[in-house]
Structure 1
Amino acid sequence: MANSGWDIAMRRIDSEYDLPQFIAARLVRNIAANKFRLPANDRSMFQQLPDDVIARIEQIVHDAYLEAGEDVGGDILREHLWQQAFDGRRGMIANGELLPPTEFRRRIGVTEKRLEQLLGDGSLFSVEVDGALFIPAVLANRAHNLRRLRATCRIIVPAPPWCRIDFLSSPRGSLGDRGPLDMLDDDDDFKTLRQVAAAWAAEWSRTTVKLYEGTHETEPSDVPPLYTASAEIDPRRRLWERASEALKVHGYQWPLGPYSDVRKFTLFVERETAGDAAPTPEACMQIVVDGEDIRIRLVAAPGATPRSQTFPALKQKNLIDLAKRVIAHLK
């Protein structure tokens, strides 16, 4: 399959640095779109990375796009590269690496309904080529432990389908330079694979919690947040579980403190998937400390209608502790 500058850059960054896919994807996108230099305004987003690492990644992205013959501003060349990629995918169909659903179903001996169930729960997955769906033939190869292979597929659902193929078929340093397909038979190997797969899958989605002073129903655009915390977390986990983890795991946090003794603030939760142009708002909650009580008003959350609650504040020391207390109450 033909490799684009994006593909080459992502692969080389992954081989040199232990960066979440989410961070690497954003770096490549921002650098490639700005004449192969990270925009100064974006530097604060990657403050955990030293200047020499940023410079090296800029060089990797530049060389990758040059090797692919891709100019970010060249629409004709970009179209040519897309065509090369599609030709490569058609080649995978021709050589049997991708199978139409009817042939795949015949190989594993299941009904059409059962195949739909396996695709629906993530045990199998399909990719699209020229508007038609195909399933990777490796998922029907009985030389592998198919039960464990399907369990692995369910873990990596958050990643795009083509990236799942790459994950399953490529050696990884975190697996001792072995591929996932080599880790299915031995119990200890499979335990390691599950852990690596879960960590890799979480890298494709980031949950962010932001706190703003005062009460708001939409995220303010004219003032900075009092506090921001982000972490790569599997998007299939429940909203408030992810928000709680974002506040606790010490991924990205800013500022580092000390924090103001704010008694009235609004908490926003958003989720961003690698490659998306903008994050998806998930929740907005107004929080007011009134004496020894906390009053909250949930303005927006998936499947929820606006509602208010009051419960004891206990002895929370600052707004971060208050936010953790509120989210723990909602979990």
Structure 2
Amino acid sequence: MTLRQKIAREALAARHEMVRNGELLREDEFRKRLRLSISRLKGMVASGSVFAIEVDKVEYFPSLLATPSIDRKKLYSICRVLGPAPESCRLSYLKSRHANLGGISPMVALQDDRSYRLLRRMARAYAAEWWRTSVTIYTGCHLAEPFDVEPIVKAVDEGDPRVNLWKRAAGAILSGGYIYPPGPYVHADVASVFVTLHPAGQGKATVEARVEIRVDDDMVHAFVVCGEAPGYELDAIPVDGNGGIVDTVLRTITAARAHEESLGLR
């Protein structure tokens, strides 16, 4: 048995115990406690206000989400903030005490307005730890990330995947969290940029956007492809001829975000 298999078996055993002791409820019991219709519960799950944990291919809901003495409006708001984290980790976060909350649990923090405001900030930071956005820049034109070419620069930052991808991409470059090499950066007349979303652990990364950049006479011409959507060409963008490729990419990212927002795409 591998270590991963052992951990998975122990986690399943813990979930079985939670079902036995009532910490996890079947859907019908959960709906009964909250007096919810099936459609209302589906809507709450879709919004992230509540969440389910699978045990033996059956979905169970944490009983603490139906606690009658808690301000459930605040609780469900925190659940939505925690949305990027795996369901089991959301439950663990809600149940556990945290030093950055003053040694209390989120369920206790809900009872005080000041603690609740702190909880929202800390929960947002916790949720962001589960996803990273990377921006990788290569010289030349590439339809996919090349394995035989070193990037000019790669920047990575943690962030909520629900945030606009261009905002996350700019944040990865500007945050200073991880960027290699640190610069200064060369000028490049032709470059390819890949914006990739990485889940924590061994999950598969997803290329969210590819940008082809060509610089002519201090003007940037960029073609943008986001996921499976048709690509589009941006209007020419003026750049400083003395600036490096990172500055060029930042200007292009800003233009792409403005373009999509003007069309109501994001």
Paired position in structure 2 for 1:305: 230
- Structure 1 stretch 144-153 or stretch 313-322: which is displaced more? 313-322
Greater helix proportion: 1
Matched, 1:86 2:12: yes
Give the AA of the match of 2:71: N
2:147 aligned with 1:191 = no
Alignment-mate amino acid for residue 159 of structure 2:
I
Deviation at 1:81, TM superposition (A): 5.2
Measure how far apart 1:179 and its partner are. 0.8
Q: Quick check: 1:102 aligned with 2:28?
A: yes
Deviation at 1:323, TM superposition (A): 0.6
For 1:78 and 1:218, how far apart are their aligned partners in 2? 31
Where in structure 2 are there 5+ consecutive unaligned residues? 258-266
Number of the residue aligned with 2:45: 119
Deviation at 1:79, TM superposition (A): 4.8
SS at match of 1:119: helix
Cα distance in 1 between the residues matched to 2:135 and 2:255 = 16
Shift of 1:281: 1.3
Q: Describe the SS at the equivalent of 1:125.
A: coil
Structure 1 residue matching 2:246: 3-state secondary structure: helix
Q: Name 1:243's counterpart in structure 2.
A: 169
The one of 188, 200, 210 aligned to 2:126: 200
Per-residue deviation, 1:78: 6.0
What percent identity do the matched residue pairs reach? 35
Amino acid at match of 1:117: G
Deviation of the 1:308 alpha carbon: 2.0
- Secondary structure of the residue aligned to 1:310 is coil
Is residue 239 of structure 2 the alignment partner of residue 314 of structure 1?
Answer: yes
> By how many angstroms is 1:310 displaced?
3.2
Structure 1 residues without counterparts, runs of 5 or longer? 1-73
RMSD over aligned CA atoms reads: 1.5
Partner of 2:260: none
Please tell me whether the aligned partners of residues 135 and 173 of structure 2 are also in contact (alpha carbons under 8 angstroms): yes
Partners of 2:5 and 2:68 in 1: how far apart? Answer: 38
Distance in 2 (alpha carbons) for counterparts of 1:144 and 1:85: 27
1:160 aligns with 2:86: yes
The structure 2 residue matched to 1:174, chosen from 91, 100, 115, is 100
The residue matched to 2:184 in structure 1 has which SS?
coil
Instruction: Report the structure, 1 or 2, having the larger strand content.
Output: 2
Q: Distance in 2 between matches of 1:295 and 1:132?
A: 52
Residues 214-225 of structure 1 mapped to structure 2, 5 A cutoff = 214-225=140-151
Amino acid at match of 1:301: C
Answer whether contact 1:240 1:330 (CA < 8 A) is retained: yes
Task: State the secondary structure of the residue aligned to 2:234.
Answer: strand
TM-score normalised by structure 2 residue count: 0.92
Please, what TM-score do these two structures have when normalized by structure 1?
0.74
Answer with 77-86 or 267-276: which moved more. Answer: 77-86
- Superposed counterparts of 1:1-331, under 5 Å: 74-75=1-2, 79=5, 82-298=8-224, 300-302=225-227, 304-315=229-240, 317-331=243-257
* Partner-residue secondary structure (3-state), 2:126: helix
